[in-house]
Amino acid sequence: MSRYNRHIVLSEIGKKGQDKLTKAKVLVIGAGGLSCPVLQYLTAAGVGTIGIVDFDVVEESNLQRQVLFGTSSLGINKAIAAKERLMDLNNTITINAYSKKLTHKNALELFKNFDIIVDGTDNFATRYLINDASLITNKPLVYGAIYKFEGQVAVFNYKNGPSYRCLFPNPPKEGTIPNCSEIGVLGVLPGIIGSMQANEVIKIILGLGDILSGKMLCYNALTTQTTTLLITKSKTEINKALSKKESFQKTTEELNCAFSPPDSYREEISIEDAIKKKNIQFIDVREFDELPKLEALNPIYIPLSEFENNLDKIDPEKEKMIFCQTGIRSKSAASILQKHNINNSYCIKEGALEILDYITQMHKKY
């Protein structure tokens, strides 16, 4: 077929390589800025089966960077509009448009039908969902993300390599990282980053070159600088994600919202049980002026606002009992410890007042 001639004449690809492309099945999630070039190049290269997931419709403000769409696509679902354009580019392949939202409920079934997953989404909740579902179904994940003039590319879960959670264990705090619709993005940037993702997908299919696994490439469009950072595999993070396998489909999207405290953190303990333990350290994460003080517990004082910078004050050998005024800040502190792989920490269910009541009663008893 003359369509693929320029690939076939490359000795590194040839007819054999082209057959591999024809047999490959790639799922692209999101049909926005990053996914447009991914879809375009995979379709042009003759990747045999391509899935596109997007629930959103094409808006005029998308056209500045989402190059698969034109004014005739406005108001049409993105997965369907993309499929229409791509079928014109290459009608010899199979394209499945899924005009729905990717959820915990449908992700695993969907992923099973593909060899490679591409993340072209625009929010943390879906990115963590994709990472965990790729891990559980054992599929390589080609990741791309952008911010204004900068982009990140990486391949995760490739031949048991590191996952996204090995780099960023939990989603960032609410509202700390804005997205493209809030702050804008250079139109050509997703074109560059998405093309790099397409390149990684094709290399994985063909078994060519060095895969960007265990590394994150950072690109700055203003300085044209690239930096590649090495990521170490964290078995703890991977096992934590894999352990959610059984409950995965039952996870509701609200619970897994990017901005709620990580739901993996549920190590709670009552003050009654906490006191019974040996070799413990109480940590008061309230601000210094908050009362009542609980001297009887001999706690160390690290306010939540300064918690992350004072982890060295915490004895790693002891079991850590974290408390605050109501039991909310202690959970945030506990997830910080978890993020830094500091284990054996518990949140005390009760707030400071209830704890004081309990201690006072204990003293009366004895």
Partner 1 sequence: MQLTIKYFGLLAEFTKCNEEQIEFSGMIINDLLEIIYLKYPKLKETDFQLAQNQVIVSNETEISGTEIALLPPFAGG
Q: Give the interface with partner 1 as residue ranges (CB under 8 A).
A: 30, 32-35, 119-124, 127, 144-148, 150-152, 167-168, 171-173, 176-180, 185, 190, 216, 218, 220, 223, 227-232, 258, 305, 308-309, 311-312, 340-341
For the bound state, the minimum distance from the C-beta of residue 296 to partner 1, rounded and expressed in Å, comes to 30
- Read off the amino acid at residue 332: S
For the bound state, the minimum distance from the C-beta of residue 290 to partner 1, rounded and expressed in Å, comes to 20
Please give the angle made by the CA atoms of 39, 41 and 46, to the nearest 5 degrees.
95
User: Measured from the CB atom, is 74 or 311 closer to partner 1?
Assistant: 311
For the bound state, the minimum distance from the C-beta of residue 288 to partner 1, rounded and expressed in Å, comes to 17
User: Measured from the CB atom, is 8 or 125 closer to partner 1?
Assistant: 125
User: Measured from the CB atom, is 125 or 359 closer to partner 1?
Assistant: 125
Sign of the Cα pseudo-torsion (89, 154, 131, 120, in order) = negative
For the bound state, the minimum distance from the C-beta of residue 195 to partner 1, rounded and expressed in Å, comes to 14
User: Measured from the CB atom, is 220 or 249 closer to partner 1?
Assistant: 220
For the bound state, the minimum distance from the C-beta of residue 105 to partner 1, rounded and expressed in Å, comes to 22
- Read off the amino acid at residue 317: E
User: Measured from the CB atom, is 174 or 272 closer to partner 1?
Assistant: 174
Give the C-alpha separation, 323 to 326, whole Å.
8
User: Measured from the CB atom, is 149 or 358 closer to partner 1?
Assistant: 149
User: Measured from the CB atom, is 180 or 294 closer to partner 1?
Assistant: 180
User: Measured from the CB atom, is 76 or 258 closer to partner 1?
Assistant: 258
For the bound state, the minimum distance from the C-beta of residue 345 to partner 1, rounded and expressed in Å, comes to 16
> For every residue of the chain, which 3-state class applies, written as one string?
CHHHHHHHCCCCCHHHHHHHHHHCEEEEECCCCCHHHHHHHHHHHCCCEEEEECCCECCHHHCCCCCCCCHHHCCCEHHHHHHHHHHHHCCCCEEEEECCCCCHHHHHHHHHCCCEEEECCCCHHHHHHHHHHHHHHCCCEEEEEEEECEEEEEEECCCCCCCHHHHCCCCCCCCCCCCHHHHCECCHHHHHHHHHHHHHHHHHHHCCCCCCECEEEEEECCCCEEEEEECCCCHHHHHHHHCCCCCHHHCCCCCCCCCCCCCCCCCEECHHHHHHCCCEEEEECCCCCCCCCCHHHCCEECCHHHHHHHHHHCCCCCEEEEECCCCCHHHHHHHHHHHCCCCCEEEECCCHHHHHHHHHHHHHHC
Helix axes 104-112, 124-137, angle to 10 degrees: 40
User: Measured from the CB atom, is 160 or 225 closer to partner 1?
Assistant: 225
For the bound state, the minimum distance from the C-beta of residue 171 to partner 1, rounded and expressed in Å, comes to 8
For the bound state, the minimum distance from the C-beta of residue 218 to partner 1, rounded and expressed in Å, comes to 6
For the bound state, the minimum distance from the C-beta of residue 13 to partner 1, rounded and expressed in Å, comes to 29
